Amino acid sequence: MSVNDAMTLEVVPTFVYLGSSIFGDFITSSEEVECRIGKTSGIFARRKECVCKRRNVSLKTKMKIYDAIVITTLLYASEFWTLLSTDLMKLEVFQMSCLHQILEVTRHDQLWNDTIRHRCMDQPTVGKRIQWNPLR
């Protein structure tokens, strides 16, 4: 593509703009969801040692940090996503993984997701959080 006969722009299938991946053949947000989970996973891993593993940090403080950093990063620009049920399931699984680590429980403890959410200051599901976005 040419602009003013002076500059040629390359057409690319994807690019990152303001932290979100833009796809040329945009139908669903599956790739963006996986990208967001990857970025958030790295952020959570770095914060886990500082916050989650410390016994002197209250659960209330841990959950405020989780909401401020993890959920904000995970759901950045989610108001523009076209989610499939598989995408929503991936987001829910990631959320539950984080909450398990914050509470320091394992899957072997066999706690229901609702129990985990209740112990974590009544955390809503990712689907509910996405519905609460102002542009939905």
Q: What is the pLDDT of residues 52-101, one digit of tens each?
A: 778 899 999 999 999 999 999 999 988 888 889 999 999 999 999 999 99
Q: CB–CB of 98/87 below 8 Å? A: no
Q: CB–CB of 63/123 below 8 Å? A: yes
Assess if residue 86 is contained within a domain: yes
pLDDT for res 115 = 96
Q: Looking at the whole model, is its pTM more than 0.75?
A: yes
The number of domains in the chain is: 1
Q: Which domain holds residue 62?
A: 27-131
Assess if residue 7 is contained within a domain: no
Assess if residue 16 is contained within a domain: no
Assess if residue 99 is contained within a domain: yes
Assess if residue 36 is contained within a domain: yes
Shortest CA distance to 80 belongs to which of 3, 39, 34, 133? 133
Assess if residue 9 is contained within a domain: no
pLDDT tens for residues 30-40?
Answer: 888 998 999 99
Assess if residue 39 is contained within a domain: yes
Assess if residue 2 is contained within a domain: no
